[in-house]
Amino acid sequence: MIAFLLQHRTRPALFSRAWLRTWLKRLWNLPALLGYALQSLRWRLKGARIASSSVISHLTVHGDASNLRIGDCCCLGITRMQTHERIEIGNCVVINDGVRLITGSHDIHSPTYDHVFSPIIIEDHAWIATDAMILKGVRIGRGAVVAAAAVVTRDVRPFTVVGGNPAREIGTRRIESFDYIPSSWFGPVMAWVGRNPRLQAHAELEDAPPSSASPLPAR
């Protein structure tokens, strides 16, 4: 994260009022910024693959952390994940507070109530809103939006909006390209890179390869 902030930081004129305000904000937000960095480091040490440009507010993982991959420039609020199978999150994904990603369940038809597990894939630029739940075996397509408190039990097509329990398609996202960096929306990060920096201004991020998750088995 530190390298990302230094590379993409705003550069006001030296010793100007803007320079002074910027550095006061950076120093004031330093403890929170270090907290984000330690949050990511904690899970990397347990085997998760988390891009340095992504920001995590608070993450709880139950299962094998090495099954978790988070791409570039993602923004995760207070999130809970069950990683008994892999969870792959693409680039520039937004996951709001209270979201749960659950890769396991039980076979209700099994006399021994056997566990069943399937991966969860969230493609680039998807948005998972507050308190949504994504269940095992689901792929969220590129640019899709999952509404608040939705329970997603099946795949979501790219650029569609789903909501409800169980989630159903309720709309379409009228957009074809993206020009925002979700990880910049946290205040401590904004103090470094400015308010709502444009993705197209950072070619190396815009050109980042899309998430390369393998297709899920037919359901």
Catalytic annotation, residues: 106
Angle between helices 30-45 and 17-28 (to 10 degrees): 50
Three-state DSSP at 201 gives helix
Query: Which among 96, 90, 61 is positioned nearest to 209, based on CA atoms?
Result: 90
Name the helix (H) or strand (E) containing 203: helix 203-206
Q: How far apart are CA 123 and CA 215, in angstroms?
A: 12
Contacting residues for 204 by C-beta, under 8 A, at least 6 apart: none
Cα-flanking dihedrals φ and ψ of residue 91, to 5°? -95, 145
- Indicate the residue type of 102: I
Measuring CA to CA, how many Å separate 118 from each of 75, 87, 106, 153, 193? 24, 9, 11, 12, 37
Query: Which among 127, 166, 137, 135 is positioned nearest to 150, based on CA atoms?
Result: 166
Measuring CA to CA, how many Å separate 200 from each of 29, 112, 177, 197? 26, 53, 10, 9
Tokens of 63: 């299962």
